[in-house]
Amino acid sequence: MTQTIGSTNPEAPTTPADTAPAGIPRTSAPSRVPAALKRRIPKYSDLAPLMQFKKPEFSRSAKLQRASTIWELRDMAKRRTPQAPFDYTDGAAEAEITLRRAREAFLDIQFRPGILRDVSSVDLGTDILGKPSRLPVGIAPTGFTRMMQSEGEYAGSQAAEAAGIPYTLSTMGTASIEDVAEAAPNGRNWFQLYLWTDRDRSLELIERAAKAGNDTLMVTVDTAVAGARLRDVRNGMTIPPALTLKTVLDASYRPAWWFNFLTHEPLTFASLSRYTGTVADLINSMFDPTLTFEDLDWLRETWKGKLVVKGIQTVEDARRVVDHGADGVILSNHGGRQLDRAPIPFHLLPEVKQAFQADNTDAAIMLDTGIMSGADIIAALALGADFTLIGRAYLYGLMAGGRAGVDRTLQILEKDMVRTMALLGVSKLSELTPDHVRILNK
């Protein structure tokens, strides 16, 4: 009896047709069509799960929640805000080269992720200037903030309080030191100071800030004269905004902004009597161009809390202000709004970090300018920053939706940071190192 043993070769013939003599065309047996690939008329029960149409939502809150990036909040802000105040926020000095380079600096990097790390829980908490912050970012001082949107500093300080991060009120802020402290009584409030030619007025501000519970004084040192902010010049930007034919036409497309502006308290300042004129005229008339390191010594003796210096653009100046008593430095070129073609804080950061390590100083290194995502913040921290500050990014949220818009800004940044950390294989900020970031094209 003959036994046929099947071949174990998957390519061997398996049907009679496969064994046809040479010269005779082979015929293939019809293949079986899987049931999933057969055509059929769909049943309603199959279609029902696919036909759950979401009710359209047109509220401002819904629009804010749909924003996934700071750039999308910027687009919303531009639609809702008249050109002059929007450009005051969005613009920079002269050809705006500095601002463009600052943003490009964060783009021209390469992250270097680690794999097979436990990142099931990512902690963004940190300590800055002796106190905790839930996120490694705070709100920078911005002037004329209620001009951008009527909630202004109140929205910023309350959003910062809710997020557990510091908020900085500007000397040029449009809410008083006392009102901000009352609006966010449990927040960590800092005060930013421009030293004036009138030292008595400066001393008064310092005393008010201390009395209101501000634990940190931030002195800005890069405004000896006003930068050439050409968008403001072209827009005829004044404080408060003037109702010219151009602004009236602009208002017709943005009635909500004008309604809010005209039905709330007129713009006043944290530290000034009511002022009418251009921003440049105000800076040039009020701020002291004779400011020196001796004035920093005076501030150190006068202010008992933490003292940080904002506007550092060289390693030498970073070291020197620490020698004169500063507890921290803020690498900043004023958002590109003063000297065009100024040094880029992100590029300066590794040099300052190296210098501070060589000096064995524990002074804090903070950074602003150009930050538009949580990934930017993580990159700065990896290269040596202890903390970061946002200005425009939060103002875009403010203009897009008031307090809710600022909240959304911080939510977007937090989500970005958590995702970036996890993808880098890092679960806490202390694990970030310069090895996680490579600066390209340098």
Q: Which residues are catalytic?
A: 334
Residue 218, strand partner residues: 192, 308
With beta carbons less than 8 A apart as the criterion, state whether 399 and 380 touch.
no
* Identity of the amino acid at 24: I
With beta carbons less than 8 A apart as the criterion, state whether 98 and 342 touch.
yes
**Element holding 281 (H helix, E strand):** helix 279-286
With beta carbons less than 8 A apart as the criterion, state whether 380 and 371 touch.
yes
Helix axes 293-302, 199-211, angle to 10 degrees: 40
Burial pattern 228-261, b for ≥16 Cβ within 10 A else e, equals bbbbbeebebbbbbeeeeebeebbeebeebbeeb
Calpha distance 297→29 (Å, rounded): 95
Q: Which of 361, 222, 220, 216 is nearest to 303 (CA)?
A: 216
